[in-house]
Amino acid sequence: MQLEGKKALITGAGRGIGWGCATELARRGAEIIANDAPGSTTLAETTEQIRELGVTCTAIEADVFDRGGCEQLVASAIEAAGRIDILISNPAWSVRDDFLKVKPEDYERVVRCTMTGGFHMSQLVARHMVERGGGGKIIFITSIHVEVPYAKSVAYNSAKGGLYNMARTIALELLPHRINVNCIEPGWIDTPGERKFFTEEALQAAGPTLPWGRLGVPADIGKAAAFLASDDADYITGEMLRVDGGLIFNGTIE
C-alpha cells in the first residue's frame, strides 16, 4: 500500500491507459479522482471497479481539452478530496492521415487536445501543489511517437514530442517546490483508442510479431505510473520512462 493516504487525479480514466493508471494506483492505496469526458459511458464502471478495491473514488466529468473544463475539474477535485498529491495527465486525440492530406483543423485539434490540454491541467494542479506546499507528482502520458516518427501521424507525433519537451521544462521550473515531473512513453498498447484504427484480427496478429511477443496492456502503464507516483521515485524528475516491450528495437533485431 505504498500510496496509501495519497490523492490522485487521473484524466481519461474511463478506459484504456487512464483506466489502467487509476486501477493500479488504487491497488496501492491511493484515493482516486477519476475524470472522463462529459457523457462518458465507462466512467461509472471504472469508479465502481476502484471502489471494489476498498479505496475511495470520486468520478468527475469534465472536458480536459478546454481551459474552462480543466479549471472545473481541478476545483471539483480539490473540493472532493481536499488536495491533489498526484496528477496523471492523459489527454489525447488522434487522427491518422498522410501529411499531404491532413486537414489543418485536424492538426490543430490534435495539438490542442494532446499537448495544450496537458499544459492546462498541469499548470492548474501545480499551482495548487505549490500553494499548499509539500511537493507532489505530475506524470504525463506521452508515446513512442516521441522517438519514432510514424507515418500518417504528423499531428500526433508533433503533439507528443511537444508534450515531452514541455514536461521537461515544467520539471526544471518546479524543482524548488519538490514536485517531480516525469513522462511515461507507452509503446503499442491494446486500448479502445487503438481499435479505432485496427481490427481485432490485426491486433491479434501483431502481438506475436513484437519483440516482447505481445501488445502492451493498460496495466503495464499503470504499474509504471504507480512507481513514478511513489516515494521510491523521489530522486527522479524530468525523465521519460519507456514502457514498450522493446518496440523501439523493431527493425534492429536479427
The one catalytic residue among 107, 150, 156, 164 = 156
User: The C-alpha cell of 124 is what?
Assistant: 492548474
Give the Cα separation of 173 and 9 in Å (integer).
21
Q: Which residues contact 252 (CB under 8 A, 6 or more apart)?
A: none
Q: Cell numbers 465502481 correspond to what residue? A: 48
> Is 156 among the residues known to form the active site?
yes
Query: What are the beta bridge partners of residue 185?
Result: 242
What phi and psi values does residue 240 have, to the nearest 5 degrees? -125, 120
Catalytic annotation, residues: 156
